[in-house]
Copies of this chain bind each other. A is one copy, B any other.
Amino acid sequence: MDQSYSATAGFITTDGGVVGQVDAARVPRYTEPGTFARLPRFDQVDAADVNILGIPFDTGVSYRPGARFGPAHIRASSKLLRPYNPAMDVSPFATQQVVDRGDLAVNPFDIEEAISTIDTSVTALGEDGASPLILGGDHTIALPMLRAMRKLHGQPIAVLHFDAHLDTWDTYFGAPYTHGTPFRRASEEGLIDLERSLHIGIRGPLYSRHDLEDDSRLGFSIIRTDDYEVDGTRSIIERMRRRLAGGPVYVSVDIDVLDPAHAPGTGTPEAGGLTSRELLHTLRALAGLQVVGADIVEVSPSYDHAEITGIAAAHVAYELLSVLAANR
């Protein structure tokens, strides 16, 4: 019975003892191991360099809900990922121990309790130095992630934020903690590096011109989606690397940075977005920057089709893991 999914026998293991994926030449990919990219669970290894953690929470959304099913969907969409990344010439599951920690249990009925649970749990999880890669969940979770990062790294963190939206709004219906407000709260709380934070992929209508003024004051510069159309990817990568250099970087990827064609399964879609090729290409250029953690949020499976969105999100995670591996 060692074919059954929990058997460590199926994993590819390096000489150095790193436990990788279940071997696809022996165990078909549709065979359930349940984990991201068929990687080991945390109880199947001794220690982790990167913790993949799902946070199935979507009570902070203002429009289409459903991102609570995001972690399960991204995992299901990640089964085709293979161990070697030729675009970066790295093997992200062989040179660092990546584990799937499963999902965090957070209260859907109390946003503040949820934020507190995330902050506490992620902080605890990072105390041994492992990097978090979060599968959301809505964007509310970026706030407790940044609280944890701030504590773990002892300094404000540069935020690289891929999104159609600024997410630096103030309140909705009086609520300060929602998926549209995490970076305003984070800036107010001193969690982010005001000189080095950056949005990429902004597009679509805003509430007013003041949104942009506020956003700038809160520490962000902006690369718009239109800049890809006009300037091309190479120029954007240069601007991005210049802005982020010189300290720790947290990467937050709202999947709605992609065009609805590339990511229908999300909560607040905006036409005119990035292609998945542009996004993956841009992410690879993070190699060499000091990435300390990341999240992929706002995947809402009931609006997805044939895992288009889930696969894009899984590839985003894969490139981020490759960046972490390249930096080791």
Q: Which of A6, A26, A80, A271 gathers the greatest number of chain B CB atoms within 10 Å?
A: A271
Residues of B within 8 A of A54 (CB): 31-32
Residues of B within 8 A of A81 (CB): 205
B315, A173: Cβ atoms closer than 8 Å: no
B25, A171: Cβ atoms closer than 8 Å: yes
User: Would you list which residues of chain A between 36 and 93 have a CB under 8 Å from chain B?
Assistant: 41-43, 53-54, 56, 58-66, 68-69, 71-72, 75-76, 79-87, 89, 91
Minimum CB–CB distance for A43 against chain B, Å: 5
User: Would you list which residues of chain A between 268 and 288 have a CB under 8 Å from chain B?
Assistant: 268-273, 275-278, 280-281
Q: Known contacts A58-B65, A107-B173, A173-B108: does B208 contact A1 (CB below 8 Å)?
A: no
When the two chains form the complex, which single residue of B109, B225, B276 contacts A261, counting CB atoms closer than 8 Å?
A: B276
When the two chains form the complex, which single residue of B109, B273, B311 contacts A271, counting CB atoms closer than 8 Å?
A: B311
Residues of B within 8 A of A223 (CB): none
B64, A302: Cβ atoms closer than 8 Å: yes
A302, B66: Cβ atoms closer than 8 Å: yes
Q: Which of A32, A61, A62 gathers the greatest number of chain B CB atoms within 10 Å?
A: A32
A59, B109: Cβ atoms closer than 8 Å: yes
Cβ contacts A217-257/B at 8 Å (1 or 0 each): 00000001110111001100000000000000000000000
CA of A76 to CA of B65, assembled, Å:
16
Residues of B within 8 A of A61 (CB): 108
Residues of B within 8 A of A155 (CB): none
CA of A60 to CA of B59, assembled, Å:
10
Q: Does A101 contact B (CB under 8 A)?
A: yes
CA of A314 to CA of B270, assembled, Å:
10
A260, B308: Cβ atoms closer than 8 Å: yes
CB nearest neighbor in B for A12: B207
When the two chains form the complex, which single residue of B10, B104, B109, B178 contacts A105, counting CB atoms closer than 8 Å?
A: B10
5 other A-B residue contacts (CB within 8 Å) besides A63-B80, A64-B66? A33-B102, A58-B65, A60-B109, A61-B108, A229-B281
Top 9 nearest A-B pairs by Cβ distance? A5-B102, A34-B34, A65-B65, A109-B175, A3-B105, A82-B205, A264-B306, A4-B102, A271-B315
